[in-house]
Amino acid sequence: MNVVSQMKLFMEPGSVAIVGATRRTGPLSFNIVEKLLDFGFKGKIYPVNPEADQISGLKAYPSAMDIPGQVDLAVIPVWERSSIPDLVRQCTEKEIKAIVVVGQGFADADDEGRALQQELLGIIRGTGARLIGPNSLGVANPSKGLCTAFIDVRMESLPIGLICQSGLFFGGLPTSALLGKAIDIANASDIHFAEALQYYEDDPETKLIVLHIEGVRDGRGFIEVAHRVSRKKPIVALKVAKTEQGAKAAQSHTGTLAGRDDIFDAVLKQCGIVRAGDIDELADLIKAFLRLPPMRGRRVGIVSISGGAAIMAADACASENLEVARLSAPTEEGLQELSPQWMRATNPLDYWPIGIHSRKSAPEMAKKGVRDFLADSGTDAVIHVPGYYPPQDVSRIAKDFVHISEAFPEKPVCWWMSGYHAKEVIAEFESQGISVFPSCERIARVLAKLHQHWQFLQSD
Amino acid sequence: MNVVSQMKLFMEPGSVAIVGATRRTGPLSFNIVEKLLDFGFKGKIYPVNPEADQISGLKAYPSAMDIPGQVDLAVIPVWERSSIPDLVRQCTEKEIKAIVVVGQGFADADDEGRALQQELLGIIRGTGARLIGPNSLGVANPSKGLCTAFIDVRMESLPIGLICQSGLFFGGLPTSALLGKAIDIANASDIHFAEALQYYEDDPETKLIVLHIEGVRDGRGFIEVAHRVSRKKPIVALKVAKTEQGAKAAQSHTGTLAGRDDIFDAVLKQCGIVRAGDIDELADLIKAFLRLPPMRGRRVGIVSISGGAAIMAADACASENLEVARLSAPTEEGLQELSPQWMRATNPLDYWPIGIHSRKSAPEMAKKGVRDFLADSGTDAVIHVPGYYPPQDVSRIAKDFVHISEAFPEKPVCWWMSGYHAKEVIAEFESQGISVFPSCERIARVLAKLHQHWQFLQSD
């Protein structure tokens, strides 16, 4: 079986066995059978527990071997590590080819744990089975109602493929839900980044790949696959265990070697992977790569209700090696006609005095500014700092702005909204497709990374 | 009149004249008279408008001189710059000693504007009047129901004194409301940082001073006052116009000279002012200095539901030159007793395996971890990454944690909550006094700055 077919058993199984299913029920019971039913998993679910006849209304089997039909995926949610090898063996005897091991205390722990992890690999060797984990929440695929995590997970169907080494990400980091498909490779004893990346490579449901990396084992294999995949789909990565203190902590988490951070940084760049510095940036990059067009140059236009905000935005651009765009004369002249005589209309544009002078409303001025800046051949992107809009007008105003952006599909437009803007107003703009960020620094960081990725795609 | 008495006319006036009050009403009418009434200002309000008999139900006067009683503060919300000198003269003839000029087009604009600004200073010279602005929203004092801004402002009564050069901050930046008293010195033609700082210096309602700086004119005066005040009350500052592009934008905003950023940085340090790198950090520092005790050393304990989060927190500490604290043997031994045999209980503490092994709930484990880490003499602060708590339990759990923190009043405790935690849950913890931040990077940055400030206070 090739690696993609194998990964499909994990990600798109027709049947799942929970080997060592709990009989507890309700919140914090960690009952995966119950959770699969809640998520609306459409395939067959086989609880395995020698002490139960039924679990969550489904017939339970004493062992995996007793399950009548074929089983694509087995999840072993058992905590006592010494009992896990026998359960994995049961799965291989049932000829299950995809196995998730949840329990901890393997390479993340002591010498005995490391030996046990080797024992698991010995059990699957030659059987055709592959293993995710140990120490893993397994996999999630919202379009199939599949999530093998024992914790509460909110799933959203976005075209994202996540590969992580911590359950944090199933819990919703970096935003508020699991945003698409997910594979928690955790200790990564068998299935590693390279295999998981190959699943997403040609998966039609995946447009963006997100990595949380503690360490990579097979560097060469990773680079080969990542370099190929990142030309087809953007890959953004949060590499943690960056410092000696972090790397030490990673040793007792997934047992992977973190490696030198400067080397990792160079490798990620070479592979065309866009690296996020922290969780906030990861969230921003996910939003940007899902919603925004490429950033083809470094020239940014700033259209702001506030002169104070315009200064901060100019600072932020400069800090990220972006340029405050030089506008063409006709653009400046057109704005100058509406401006008080004492003001020089230029980039950054503080449109408050223009609105006062020409008796135009803030949204009118903002729309004119954003449209003119986008139409100017001197800009590659626009940052907009909006004013206060009455909540009842927001939906209409948002539509106007979306319309303007659609006329310039090759230039990213990012809005800075925070502070005085009500959360509901921000949510309304977002829901209509406007990309809102909480600070100009975060926007500049995102634009710089979009440009970096565009440059990678242009290179040979 | 000394400077503090003068500033009290601005901040605690018994009577306010709006010289050039508008007759428009309702949202976006920029009617300051209406806004003062809405805010519940208890002093006298005198609208001045030669074309009106009444404004917002109050008798209007043709000029400031026609007002019968004494006027402490005048606000001139007029946009046509050429008409402003006459209105300022009116105020001085009425012997008003505190004047706010809202209009733009002065030093923020062209040569004529710079000359006009000088003209305003000439008019007040020798009259005993002082001037805030031009280009200013004026002042706010929530405990008096006073806010002279013409835009919508949500005021909260926190013990904060803000001095800013942009209306953005009245609009609620960096959080969602104006958090205390505020002075928008804007172009700072007359009243500058030094005068405003002296008002807050001994103001009993102010515990923390926040600065938004575009540029400082009288460097020596600023340093002298700031150095003295920062030993009494923490001062945090966002200095913008850091880059050449930002400084250029500042020239057409408040017309102040931004100065070289490295010099500014050194000056702020020397004065004991804690500098925020961006808006997010400013919000975090405000929260930290209002709520948290000093950070007396660099040693941080990390108590986490997630090993993955613990790694990120350790990275974040190392990046800010903080140490992952070495625990005492008894602390580690006490936790080891509850841990699975394969795990080494240490700092950072991933308490999930302990909870599973010892059949303790997540909140029980978290409380034990945070308490033990705080009690250990090897730590100076604790970062806590909580698990999922059922919403109905949050209030009770929060009380328990507050109780634990209260037993160790000399050590800051910061929680990292984001992603999977519902906004309402975070808000409930916050409202009970727990300091929650959205990322471990932001926590580490805050702890490092708390420590920097503590070191400043220890120095001679």
Chain A within 8 Å of B265 (Cβ-Cβ)?
A: no
Percentage of chain B exceeding pLDDT 70: 100
The C-alpha of A68 sits at a distance from chain B's nearest C-alpha, in angstroms, of 32
User: Is pLDDT above 80 for B257?
Assistant: no
The C-alpha of A253 sits at a distance from chain B's nearest C-alpha, in angstroms, of 5
The C-alpha of A359 sits at a distance from chain B's nearest C-alpha, in angstroms, of 12
pLDDT on residue A176:
77
- Classified as helix, coil or strand, A130 is strand
User: Is pLDDT above 80 for B295?
Assistant: yes
pLDDT on residue A27:
74
Q: What is the mean pLDDT of residues B44-52?
A: 97
Pairing of strands B54-55, A58-59: unpaired
User: Is pLDDT above 90 for A310?
Assistant: yes
Pick A318's closest partner by Cβ from B245, B280, B419. Answer: B245
Q: What is the mean pLDDT of residues B380-385?
A: 98
The alpha carbon dihedral of B30, B33, B36, B40 has a sign of negative
Q: What is the ipTM of this complex?
A: 0.94
Average pLDDT score over chain A: 95
Chain B within 8 Å of A202 (Cβ-Cβ)?
A: no
User: Is pLDDT above 90 for A259?
Assistant: no
Q: A388, B151: Cβ pair inside 8 Å?
A: yes
User: Is pLDDT above 80 for B256?
Assistant: no
Q: Which candidate in A168, A341, A394 is best for mutational testing of the B interface (most B CBs within 10 A)?
A: A168
Find out whether A355 and A386 touch, Cβ atoms under 8 Å: no
User: Is pLDDT above 90 for A395?
Assistant: yes
Name the A residues in 399-418 with CB < 8 Å from any B CB: 418
Angle between helices B3-11 and B193-201 (to 10 degrees): 90
Residues of B in contact with A253 (CB under 8 A): 307-308, 310-311, 350
Chain segment A97-127, per-residue pLDDT in tens: 999 999 999 999 999 999 999 999 999 999 9
Q: What CA–CA distance (Å, rounded) separates A88 from A64?
A: 10
Q: Which residues contact B28 (CB under 8 A, 6 or more apart)?
A: A361, A390
Using pLDDT thresholds of 50, 70 and 90, give the confidence band for residue B399: very high
Q: A418, B171: Cβ pair inside 8 Å?
A: no
Q: What is the mean pLDDT of residues B131-154?
A: 95
Name the A residues in 271-300 with CB < 8 Å from any B CB: 278-280
State the count of interchain CB pairs (< 8 A) between A and B. 222
pLDDT on residue A117:
98
Using pLDDT thresholds of 50, 70 and 90, give the confidence band for residue B266: very high
Residues of B in contact with A212 (CB under 8 A): 308
Q: What CA–CA distance (Å, rounded) separates B419 from A178?
A: 9
Instruction: Please give the structure tokens belonging to residue A395.
Output: 């939906």
Using pLDDT thresholds of 50, 70 and 90, give the confidence band for residue B1: confident
Chain B within 8 Å of A52 (Cβ-Cβ)?
A: no
Q: What is the full DSSP assignment across A88-108?
A: HHHHHHTT--EEEE----STT
User: Is pLDDT above 80 for B209?
Assistant: yes
Q: Which residues contact B79 (CB under 8 A, 6 or more apart)?
A: A356, A357, B102, B103, B104
Q: What CA–CA distance (Å, rounded) separates B1 from B127?
A: 11
Average pLDDT score over chain B: 95
Q: Which residues contact A330 (CB under 8 A, 6 or more apart)?
A: none
User: Is pLDDT above 90 for A304?
Assistant: yes
The C-alpha of A422 sits at a distance from chain B's nearest C-alpha, in angstroms, of 8
Q: What is the mean pLDDT of residues A64-83?
A: 96
- Classified as helix, coil or strand, A254 is coil
User: Is pLDDT above 90 for A347?
Assistant: yes
Q: Which residues contact A423 (CB under 8 A, 6 or more apart)?
A: none
- Looking at B292-379, list the stretches that DSSP marks H as alpha helix, in order from N- to C-terminal side: 307-319, 329-336, 352-358, 362-375
Chain B within 8 Å of A4 (Cβ-Cβ)?
A: no
Using pLDDT thresholds of 50, 70 and 90, give the confidence band for residue B421: confident
pLDDT on residue A420:
72
Q: What CA–CA distance (Å, rounded) separates A460 from A450?
A: 18
The C-alpha of B298 sits at a distance from chain A's nearest C-alpha, in angstroms, of 14
Q: A353, B105: Cβ pair inside 8 Å?
A: yes
Name the B residues in 109-128 with CB < 8 Å from any A CB: 109-110, 112-113
Residues of B in contact with A344 (CB under 8 A): 252
Q: What CA–CA distance (Å, rounded) separates B358 from A267?
A: 42
C-alpha triplet B143, B146, B147: angle, nearest 5°: 125
Q: A104, B353: Cβ pair inside 8 Å?
A: yes
Residues in chain A: 460
CA A173 to chain centre: 9
pLDDT on residue B212:
97
Q: What CA–CA distance (Å, rounded) separates B222 from B235?
A: 13
Write down the pTM of the prediction: 0.95
Name the A residues in 5-44 with CB < 8 Å from any B CB: 27-28
Residues of B in contact with A314 (CB under 8 A): 243, 245-246, 248-249
The C-alpha of A354 sits at a distance from chain B's nearest C-alpha, in angstroms, of 11
Chain B within 8 Å of A329 (Cβ-Cβ)?
A: no
Q: A246, B314: Cβ pair inside 8 Å?
A: yes
User: Is pLDDT above 90 for B303?
Assistant: yes
Pick B165's closest partner by Cβ from A174, A308, A342. Answer: A308
CA A348 to chain centre: 32
Ramachandran assignment for B332, one of left (phi > 0), alpha (psi -120 to 50 degrees), beta (any other)? alpha
Using pLDDT thresholds of 50, 70 and 90, give the confidence band for residue B253: confident
pLDDT on residue A251:
83
pLDDT on residue B152:
85
Q: What is the full DSSP assignment across B114-180?
A: HHHHHHHHHHHTTTT-EEE-SS--EEEEGGGTEE--SS---B---SEEEEESSGGGTTTTTTTSB-S
Q: What CA–CA distance (Å, rounded) separates A22 from B241?
A: 60
Q: B441, A278: Cβ pair inside 8 Å?
A: yes
Q: A342, B172: Cβ pair inside 8 Å?
A: no
pLDDT on residue B338:
95
Pick A343's closest partner by Cβ from B109, B154, B243. Answer: B109
Using pLDDT thresholds of 50, 70 and 90, give the confidence band for residue A133: very high
B449 half-sphere exposure, CB direction, 13 A CA radius: 27
Q: A278, B318: Cβ pair inside 8 Å?
A: no
The 8 Å CB, 24+ separation contacts for B415-418 are B415/B383, B415/B384, B415/B385, B415/B386, B416/B309, B416/B313, B416/B383, B416/B384, B416/B385, B416/B440, B416/B443, B417/B385, B417/B386, B418/A173, B418/A174, B418/A279
User: Is pLDDT above 80 for A336?
Assistant: yes
